[in-house]
């Protein structure tokens, strides 16, 4: 059987547009001679639709579009993800479903059994799980139709303590399915694509079945979908591979494994750059799709001469085109000439536009209105924050005046411990590197310079500083970033206790002070622009932490 994997990039809520996209890819699959074209999870609605699922007309439109696709009577059959209604009087009103469209009709429907409710997932809020999943006969083969999580039960992809009561893949194996199709909208995080392949390769061997894995590409809000769809033979061998971070259409012939399918060389971060290359591609796509799907084309950001704004500017230029990015230099009396020189050199390297707007008069007006300042008072925290907020106000004003979107440039290390100013350097529509620790930002800068200077060496070499008072350095207020980032990583991503982190060789008082600072800064993070997610545990929708809480659990 010739199966086309249609790795598409739907837009949430754009059912007419998504339907046209599916039809276009279906016709392209037909031209390749495919018997069946497989599309990702909820391809008709886009993923995740969230509370759009509570709107009756939204569900109606998606069902109408599914019937219209079936009515096309294409020679190629389609397996399409959509939202179905639950006919039962009990349970949630909807199903997360896959339909087999063939011969002008909806030939078969299967519903998702396993509904994730961890990290960014909240599917049990909307959907009723299927009680069973039986295979169907198609093209002389016994085929299983599964949706995303249904294929991961009992594997290492799920949280260690997450055990489901049933295993749809195991059921299909017992029913002797020879081909298992899995449609997914599986968000990216570093290393995940390699893990998917390894686990499903083992499952293909165990089931002695072909596995067709169709994943969504593109980005919606904070989530990035890497694509990386693939097909596996019953021996676990990769027989077809779609590209990463983009739409694609690949064909696999289950009777002649590997024949037309694209080989997998260089996939899963195994090529030049490894996980850093993956993260760079993911963030570039995240910026591009956020702007494109919202209908914006131009970005503005502050250029401080520091590493964070340099990396964000480089990513924005790659995502949107350098002609669509404006970097704004906003020097104060504490800004060194070196910082401005480095920022301008970066802009020349990238080919982006720049504007210079000194903040001295704006900052002075703030101080005058407050009756603050004066040589005897020094540069207080209030005065430092007023500088950051002066810059944030300017960027948002430029955004308003020109129809641009502002990019915030903070990193995960600073955001974790609250080393940022609300309504200042946190102002913006999107925070591209807010899920990268500072040390990871430096690695990304090195990767961006792999083919020659993009980010000036002086920016990489200089000690980080906010330049909000004379002689300021980040590490006057923070431990070295190598230390800070490892403590934060152990706590956030590995969920280690303070005692376990101390056991890794860090001072107890240092660990406790960092973690208390992290938990006390939750109110800031709740007000930040959305952060593109590239790790398993980001500061976003997937981390549900109260703002008002005692901190006595950190001890």
Predicted pLDDT of residue 139: 86
As a whole number of Å, the CA-based R_g of the chain is 25
> Which residue among the candidates 112, 192, 524, 533 is catalytic per the annotation?
112
Q: Are 247 and 9 in contact (CB under 8 A)?
A: yes
- Catalytic residue flag (residue 173): no
Compute the C-alpha angle 153/155/161, nearest 5°. 80
Question: Rounded to whole angstroms, how far apart are CA atoms 182 and 205?
Answer: 16
Q: Residue 471, class by beta-carbon neighbours within 10 Å (0-12 exposed, 13-18 middle, 19+ buried)?
A: exposed
Q: Residue 117, class by beta-carbon neighbours within 10 Å (0-12 exposed, 13-18 middle, 19+ buried)?
A: exposed
Residue range(s) in the chain whose domain bears CATH number 3.40.50.620:
277-470
Tokens of 474: 């980040």
- Write down the architecture of domain 2-270 according to CATH: 4-Layer Sandwich (3.60)
Long-range contact pairs involving 167-174 (C-beta distance under 8 Å, separation at least 24): 168/113, 168/114, 168/133, 168/144, 169/144, 169/203, 169/207, 171/132, 171/133, 171/134, 172/133, 172/135, 172/144, 172/146, 172/207, 172/209, 173/206, 173/207, 173/209
**β-pair partners for 407:** 430
From the first residue on, what is the mean pLDDT of each consecutive set of 10 residues in the chain (555 residues)? 97 98 97 97 97 97 98 96 95 97 96 91 94 90 94 70 74 90 96 91 92 97 97 94 96 75 43 83 98 98 96 98 98 90 97 97 91 70 91 97 97 96 96 97 97 96 83 81 97 95 96 96 95 94 91 88
Residue with tokens 């081909």: 179
> Which residue among the candidates 2, 41, 420, 438 is catalytic per the annotation?
41
pTM beyond 0.85, yes or no? yes
> Which residue among the candidates 2, 128, 148, 280 is catalytic per the annotation?
148
Q: Are 405 and 291 in contact (CB under 8 A)?
A: yes
Predicted pLDDT of residue 263: 46
- Catalytic residue flag (residue 112): yes
Residue 90, sorted as left (phi over 0), alpha (psi -120 to 50) or beta, turns out to be beta
CATH label, 277-470, candidates 3.40.50.620, 3.40.50.1580, 3.90.1150.10, 3.30.300.30: 3.40.50.620
Q: Pairing relation of β-strands 141-147 and 136-138?
A: antiparallel
User: How many residues are listed for the chain in this entry?
Assistant: 555
- Catalytic residue flag (residue 280): no
Question: Rounded to whole angstroms, how far apart are CA atoms 316 and 334?
Answer: 27
Residue range(s) in the chain whose domain bears CATH number 3.60.110.10:
2-270
**β-pair partners for 333:** none
């Amino acid at each position: 059987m010739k199966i086309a994997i249609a790795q598409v990039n739907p837009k949430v809520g754009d059912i007419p547009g998504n339907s046209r996209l599916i039809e276009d890819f279906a016709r392209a699959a037909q031209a390749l001679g495919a018997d069946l074209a497989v599309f990702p999870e909820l391809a008709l609605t886009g993923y995740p639709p969230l509370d759009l699922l509570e709107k009756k007309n939204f569900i109606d439109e998606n069902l109408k579009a599914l019937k219209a696709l079936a009515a096309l009577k294409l020679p190629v059959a389609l397996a399409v993800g959509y939202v179905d209604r639950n006919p039962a009087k009990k349970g949630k009103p909807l199903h997360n479903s896959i339909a087999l469209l063939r011969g002008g009709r909806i030939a078969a429907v299967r519903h998702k059994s396993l509904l994730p409710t961890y990290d960014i997932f909240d599917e049990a809020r909307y959907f009723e799980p299927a009680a069973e999943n039986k295979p169907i006969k198609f093209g002389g083969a016994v085929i299983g139709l599964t949706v995303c999580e249904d294929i991961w039960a009992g594997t290492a992809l799920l949280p260690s303590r997450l055990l489901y009561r049933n295993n749809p893949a195991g059921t299909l194996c017992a029913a002797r399915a020879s081909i298992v199709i899995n449609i997914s909208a599986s968000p990216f995080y570093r290393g995940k694509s390699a893990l998917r392949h390894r686990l499903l390769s083992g499952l293909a061997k165990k089931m002695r079945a072909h596995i067709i894995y169709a994943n969504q590409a593109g980005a919606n809000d904070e989530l990035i979908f890497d694509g990386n769809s693939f097909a596996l033979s019953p021996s676990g061998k990769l027989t077809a591979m779609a590209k990463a971070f983009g739409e694609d259409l690949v064909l696999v012939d289950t009777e002649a494994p590997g024949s037309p399918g694209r080989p997998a060389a260089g996939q899963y971060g195994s090529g030049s750059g490894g996980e850093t290359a993956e993260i760079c591609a993911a963030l570039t796509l995240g910026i591009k799709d956020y702007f494109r799907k919202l209908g914006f084309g131009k970005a503005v950001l502050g250029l401080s001469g520091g590493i964070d704004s340099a990396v964000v500017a480089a990513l924005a230029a790659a995502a949107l085109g350098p002609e669509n990015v404006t970097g704004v230099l906003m020097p104060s009396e504490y800004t060194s000439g070196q910082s401005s020189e480095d920022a301008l050199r970066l802009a020349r390297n990238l080919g982006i536009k720049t504007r210079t707007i000194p903040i001295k008069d704006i900052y002075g007006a703030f101080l005058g209105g407050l009756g603050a300042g004066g040589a005897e008072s020094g540069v207080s925290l209030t005065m430092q924050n007023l500088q950051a907020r002066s810059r944030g106000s300017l960027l948002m004003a430029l955004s308003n005046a020109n129809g641009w979107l502002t990019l915030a440039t903070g990193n995960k290390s600073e955001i974790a411990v609250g080393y940022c100013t609300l309504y200042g350097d946190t102002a913006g529509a999107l925070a591209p590197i807010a899920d990268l620790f500072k040390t990871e930002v430096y690695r990304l800068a090195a990767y961006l310079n792999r083919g020659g200077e993009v980010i000036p060496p002086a920016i990489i070499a200089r000690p980080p500083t906010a330049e909000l008072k004379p002689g300021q350095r980040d590490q006057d207020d923070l431990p070295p970033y190598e230390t800070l980032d490892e403590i934060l990583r152990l706590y956030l991503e590995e969920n280690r206790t303070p005692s376990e982190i101390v056991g890794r060789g860090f001072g107890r008082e240092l660990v406790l002070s960092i973690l208390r600072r992290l938990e006390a800064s939750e109110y800031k993070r709740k007000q930040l622009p959305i952060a593109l997610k590239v790790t398993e545990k980001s500061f976003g929708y997937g981390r549900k932490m109260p703002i008002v809480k005692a901190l006595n659990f950190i001890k």
